[in-house]
Amino acid sequence: MQLISAGPSPFVRKVRVLLHETGQSEDVEVVEVAATPVATPPELAAANPVGKIPALIRPDGPALYDSRVITRYLDARADAGMYPQARLWETLTLEATADAIMEAGVLMVYEHRVRPEEKVFDGWVDAQWEKITRSVAAINARWMSHLAGPMDMSHIAVGCALGYLDFRHGARGWRKGNDALDDWYAVFAERESMKATAPE
């Protein structure tokens, strides 16, 4: 299988961490492409007509895309239990919250990287950061008992979201007022799967 990737995408990292945690890394080749919202390379368009990464090319079926679809597939493939039935809705909701943090963080980057300087809308950037701060605060206030439990896909998603905030938006300081989540992330970031997939 091939995983279509582009740069330090937190959505790709989420898939790669799952691959490490479930012993499937050797089964998947990571293929780097240069992609932005305004420039989709043909190999990515062939796998995902929307032009977003990641996409997983399989030898025995159509390509899969959207990180949550890919992680569900890989979890089922390995029978790894990263979407435990007993707390499935909590896991999916927390994963969705982490994905929303990633999306807002990526949009902040693209606002400066893709738009001409005279068209950058600082109010848009600030609104994305407000989504992030609300979401991080909600995790810190409501979800620490879940994060303290057995690892599932939501742990990986939250870890990758916070790692991306450090990587791209570290100066904004997501940790302020979120001590419990900061403590949790300090431990989670030391997992081998997280260190092996850390963005450069």
Q: What is the pLDDT of residues 88-147, one digit of tens each?
A: 999 999 999 999 999 999 999 998 888 888 888 999 999 999 999 999 999 999 999 999
pLDDT, position 111:
86
* Burial degree of 114 (CB within 10 A; 0-12, 13-18, 19+): middle
155 and 115 in a common domain: yes
pLDDT, position 167:
97
Return the half-sphere exposure (C-beta side, CA atoms, 13 A cut-off) of residue 37: 11
159 and 129 in a common domain: yes
188 and 90 in a common domain: yes
Asked if pLDDT for residue 200 goes beyond 90, the answer is: no
Boundaries of domain holding 145: 85-196
pLDDT, position 83:
98
Nearest to 82 by CA among 4, 174, 155, 179: 155
The token duo for 117 is 């300087």
Domain CATH number, residue 190: 1.20.1050.10
pLDDT tier for residue 7 given thresholds of 50, 70 and 90: confident
Q: Final residue of a domain: which of 23, 50, 78?
A: 78
The token duo for 199 is 């963005």
Torsion of CA 98, 161, 21, 82, to 10 degrees: 0
147 and 65 in a common domain: no
DSSP letter string, the chain: -EEEE-TT-HHHHHHHHHHHHTT-GGG-EEEE---BTTB--HHHHHH-TT--S-EEE-TTS--EESHHHHHHHHHHHHT--SS-GGGHHHHHHHHHHHHHHHHHHHHHHHHHHTS-GGG--HHHHHHHHHHHHHHHHHHHHHSHHHHTSS--HHHHHHHHHHHHHHHHHGGG-TTTT-HHHHHHHHHHTTSHHHHHT---
pLDDT, position 87:
97
The model carries a pTM of 0.95
**How far apart are the C-alpha atoms of 187 and 191, rounded to whole Å?**
8
pLDDT, position 116:
87
Provide the pairing of β-strand 29-32 with 2-5.
Answer: parallel
46 and 98 in a common domain: no
185 and 120 in a common domain: yes
pLDDT, position 114:
83
pLDDT, position 67:
97
Q: pLDDT tens digit string along 8-57?
A: 999 999 999 999 999 999 999 999 998 888 888 899 999 999 999 999 99
